[in-house]
Structure 1
Amino acid sequence: MKDRILKVSISEAERKGFRFTMGELAKQLGMSTKTLYGYYPSKEELLNEMIDLAINELKKKEEEILHDSTLNLVEKLQKCLVLIPADFQFAQLKYLEELQRYYPKQWETLDLFIHEQWTGIFSLLDEGIATKKIRAFNKEIFIEVYIGGLYRLMEHGAKNRNMMSLQDAMQEMVDILMHGILEDNVHEEN
C-alpha cells in the first residue's frame, strides 16, 4: 500500500507541486484521510520518503552511467551532470522552489545531496584531466557555478510559469558549462 501511496503522491506532485493536501491525496487513493495518516503520520514524512526515493534513483542512475562501457568519458560526464529522476523529475523548476519555501527540512535533505553528490563526477573530471581530454580547472568553482546555476534556474522558474522543464534547462546549462559559448571555428582561429 505504501508503494501505491508513493506512486500517487509523486503523480500529485508532478501535477500540482508539493502543496497538495493529504485530503486530496486520500481522495485520489480512494481512502479516508485517517487511513492515509495510518501509513504516513504527516505530510512531511511522506515528502521525506518521496525525496529519499528520488535521491536513491539518482544514485543508482549515476552508478549505471559511470559503469556504462558504451559511453566515453565526456558522455558520462554530461549524462551525470544532467541526471534527473525519471519517475519524479520535480517536473518543473517552480516545484523545487516551492519545496524550498514551504518544506525547509525536506529541502535541506535535497540541498545536502546536491552539494555532496560529486564523488562520481570528480572521478570523471580527474580521469579527463589525467588523460588530457579535459583541461585542468578549479573543480570547486565549477561545482559552485553548477549549483548556483541550478538555484537561479529554480528562482526564475518559480516566477516564470512558462519556463522550460528542469530537464531542458539542466541540459542547456551543462552544454554551456562543458562547451562554452564560442563556436568551434572560433576556438580554431585562436
Structure 2
Amino acid sequence: MKKQLQETVLELIVQKGLKFTIDDIAAKQGISKRTVYEHFDSKQHLIETIVDDAIEEVKQREQEIFHKKELSYKQKLTAVLSIVPSGLSFGDTVLLEQMKRFAPNEWIKIDELIQNGWQTVQKVIERGIKNGEFRPLHVPSVIQLLRGVSMAIFDPDYHTHNVNSLEKNVATMVDVIMHGLINEEE
C-alpha cells in the first residue's frame, strides 16, 4: 500500500506540484484519509520518503553503472552524469521552485547530493585517466566544474527562464562535457 500511495503522490505532483492534499491522495486511491495516515504521518513525510527514494535511486544506479565491466570509462561517465531520478520529475520548473520554498529540508537533501555526491564520478574519471581513456587533468577541478554545472541546471531560478526539461538540459550538459563545443567535422 505504501508504494501505491507514493505512486499516487508522484502522479499528483506531476498534476499539481506540491499543492496536493491528503484528501487528493485518498480520493485518487478510493480510500479514506485515515488509511493514508496509517502509512504516512503527514504530507511532509510522503514528500520526504519520495525524495529519499529518488536520492537512493541515483546512488544505486551510479553503483550499477560503475560496476558494469562491459562499459568503457567514457560510457560510464556519460551514463552516470545522465542520471535523472525516474520517480520524481525534478525537471518541472514549478516543482523545483516549490521544493525550495515549501519543502526546504528535502531541497537541502537534493542540494547536498548535487554538492557532495561526486565520489563515483571521481572514481570513474581517475580510472579513465589511469587507463588512458581521459586526458590527465586535475580531477578536483573537473569535479568542481561538474558541481557548478549541476547546481546551475538544478537551480529553480534557471528553470523559470528556460523551457527545456531537466532531462534535455542534463543531456546538453553531458554532451558538452564529453564532446566539447568544437565541431570536429569542420
TM-score > 0.5, shorter chain as reference: yes
Gaps of at least 5 residues in structure 1 are: none
1:46 is the counterpart of 2:46: yes
* CA shift in 2, pair 1:61/1:140, >3 Å: same
Normalising by structure 2, what TM-score?
Answer: 0.87
CA contact (8 A) 1:129 1:136 kept: yes
Q: Aligned pair 1:105/2:141, yes or no?
A: no
Distance 1:169 1:121, change over 3 A: same
1:61-109 per-residue CA deviation (whole Å, 9 max, x = no partner) reads 1122112223211011011011012233424244223211211011111
Cα offset for 1:10? 1.4
Q: Which amino acid aligns with 1:47?
A: I
Fraction of identical pairs, as percent: 28
Pairing of 1:47-62 with structure 2 (within 5 A): 47-62=47-62
Q: Does 1:15 align with 2:15?
A: yes
Cα distance in 2, alignment partners of residues 14 and 91 from structure 1: 10
Aligned residues: 184
What whole-Å deviation, never above 9, does each CA across 1:38-81 have from its counterpart, x for those lacking one? Answer: 32121111111101111121122112211222321101101101
Cα distance in 2 between the residues matched to 1:73 and 1:93: 32
Tell me what 2:24 maps to.
24
1:169 alignment partner, SS class = helix
Matched residue of 1:17: which SS?
helix
**Other-structure match for 2:158:** 156
Distance in 2 (CA, whole Å) between partners of 1:52 and 1:87 is: 11
SS in 1 for 2:45: helix
Aligned partner of 1:6: which letter?
Q
Aligned partner of 1:118 in structure 2 is 118
Equivalent-residue separation in structure 1 for 2:140 and 2:93 (angstroms): 24
Instruction: Give the AA of the match of 2:96.
Output: L
- How far off is 1:2 after superposition? 1.0
Structure 2 unaligned residues grouped into runs of 5+: none
Q: Is the 8 A contact 2:65 2:79 kept in 1?
A: yes
SS at match of 2:90: coil
1: CA distance between counterparts of 2:109 and 2:84?
Answer: 16
Residue 139 of structure 1: aligned partner? 139
**Contact persistence 1:149–1:173 (CA under 8 A):** yes
Q: Would the alpha carbon gap of residues 139 and 91 (structure 1) be closer, same or farther in structure 2, given more than 3 Å must change?
A: same
Aligned to 1:64: 64
Aligned-residue RMSD, C-alpha? 2.0
SS of 1:181's equivalent in the other structure is coil
| Alpha-carbon offset, residue 124 of structure 1 | 0.7
**8 Å CA contact retained: 1:17, 1:95:** yes
User: Quick check: 1:13–1:90 contact (8 Å CA) kept in 2?
Assistant: no
Matched with 1:81 is 81
Cα contact 2:26–2:33 (8 A) shared by 1: yes
Amino acid at match of 1:156: Y
* Alpha carbons of structure 1 residues 141 and 163: separation in structure 2 relative to 1, 3 Å: farther
